[in-house]
Amino acid sequence: MALTNGVPYTFTSSVSGDKVTIANSSGTIQRYGTTPFTYVPATTATYRFYTHSTSACGTTGTRTRSITCPGQGGGGNCLSGTQYPTNTYTLTACDGVAQTIVSGTNYGEFCNVALVSGTAYTFSCANGGYVTISNNTATTELAAGTSPLVWAATASATYRYYIHSNSSCGSGGSTGSKRIQCGTAVVLPGCATDPSPASSSSACISSATTTLSWSSVATATGYDVYFNAGGSATTLVSNNQVGLSYNASTPTAGTYSWRIVPATASGDATGCTTWDFVRTAAPIWYADQDGDGFGNPSISQSTCTQPGNYVANNTDCDDTQDLYADNDGDGFGAGAPVACGVADNSDCNDAQLQYADNDGDGFGAGAPIACGVSDNTDCNDTQNLYADTDGDGYGAGAPVACGVADNTDDCPTTFGIIGSACDAGPGFRSGSIECKL
């Protein structure tokens, strides 16, 4: 199992009285005792966890083993972390002025500090957090609370000073300056106000930088500026500056976040708000050379402010070329020529449904559609049959398009051909009408 140095781990067997042994990865025994057994590793490494039924290494029975460490139950005992810096810090004076142990550290780290018995110390970090003080071996928590934390040393010795992001021992992220003070209690400055740009504001990108500004804080001697693209401000871009503004790089559209931490010799403000603002891309404007409210798509410029004689619309046309008005936007025009029309003047009344003339022969067929024809007697022009020139349903002669299938009995205009389907019957003869009395 992988263990972290300085963290008190509790090893438990499901059977009361079992013996617990902790060894390093090669099997060398580090500590042993009776369940539940607490062990604080001196180094971060891999260890072995043995359980036996007796001190003579009995192996009978079935066991359930478990391991716990601080933070799993939520809150307190934050005695885990990496040491930074590695040297032990000793205060140069106890005059009420905060001394910086390290200008930049991360949550989840600790440092060693030499303290004097009976002296009250104030532990603080620029970005706040949860402070834990322990003995030098991290087996006992002596004090804990949010930054700044005041605690009086019970003995002259070296102690561990931990900083985590919360009481659940959160790690990661910058703490800002890590400080310690003894003597007069720390009086920290307040946070800056009146941010510009205003938080959650939005503006067009007019340059590659944005000026950040804020109001002066009465007791502050300097300001730490944190700035990032995105939703969090964790990068220190200006340390302890005197001025009340900073030019931040904002070259592209998007969200930017920033935070100001006022500082004094006694310490930095804590819990200061992170502000954000949005930069949007400059719109494109098109040249309106004829002043008709429509722009030329081939002449444009991108700027936050609308230039003179430029518009947002890019649908300009040649006003000198009169074509046909396409009033319904279907690509077909009609009526008298107008500027910016279309070349096709075959528009129709889309609301009048008639028959589709798909082959352009003037005859339609099928279900009514817009812009059809009134005649619905269209036929299959590709099928040649016999011409029925007199409309009696019978054709004759050479095959033609849209004819009839029967060419056997087409009748001439002369009636009375005996024996034919065209025979008019008794009492009629070819060429004349005769009545038999």
Q: Find how far residue 406's CA is from the centre of its chain.
A: 75
> So what's the pLDDT on residue 61?
76
Q: Tell me the C-alpha to C-alpha distance, in Å, between residue 242 and each of 46, 264, 423.
A: 49, 11, 123
Report CA torsion sign: 245, 249, 253, 259.
Answer: negative
Q: Would you put residue 46 in left (φ > 0), alpha (ψ -120 to 50) or beta? A: beta
**Which SS3 state, helix, strand or coil, does residue 160 take?**
strand
What does the alpha-carbon distance between residue 144 and residue 78 come to, in Å, rounded to a whole number? 8
Return the CA Rg of the chain.
48
**Which SS3 state, helix, strand or coil, does residue 58 take?**
coil
Residue spans of the chain under pLDDT 70? 5-8, 40, 42, 69-76, 184-186, 316, 318-358, 360-367, 369-378, 380-389, 391, 393, 395-397, 400-437
**Can you name the CATH fold of 82-182?**
Jelly Rolls (2.60.120)
DSSP string, 252-303: SSEEEEEEEEEEETTEE--SPPPEEEEEEPPPEEEE-TTSSS--EEEEEEE-
* CA nearest to 123, candidates 172, 156, 89, 155: 89
Give residues with Cβ within 8 angstroms of 69, minimum separation 6.
7, 8, 9, 10, 80
* CATH code of the domain made up of 201-280: 2.60.40
Beta bridge partners of 158: 114
**Which SS3 state, helix, strand or coil, does residue 390 take?**
coil
What does the alpha-carbon distance between residue 211 and residue 195 come to, in Å, rounded to a whole number? 11
What does the alpha-carbon distance between residue 37 and residue 420 come to, in Å, rounded to a whole number? 125
What does the alpha-carbon distance between residue 290 and residue 376 come to, in Å, rounded to a whole number? 49
> So what's the pLDDT on residue 247?
97
Strands 174-182 and 157-164: unpaired
Count Cβ neighbours within 10 Å for each residue of 225-259 and write b for 16 or more, e otherwise.
Answer: bbbbbeeebeebbbebeeebebebebeeeeebbbb
Contact predicate 270/188, CB 8 Å: yes
* CA nearest to 262, candidates 293, 289, 225: 225
Contact predicate 98/183, CB 8 Å: no
Q: Find how far residue 356's CA is from the centre of its chain.
A: 51
Tokens representing residue 149 in the block: 């934390």
Q: Tell me the C-alpha to C-alpha distance, in Å, between residue 140 and each of 68, 76, 77, 117, 293.
A: 16, 12, 8, 17, 78
Annotated domain spans of the chain: 2-68, 82-182, 201-280, 383-437
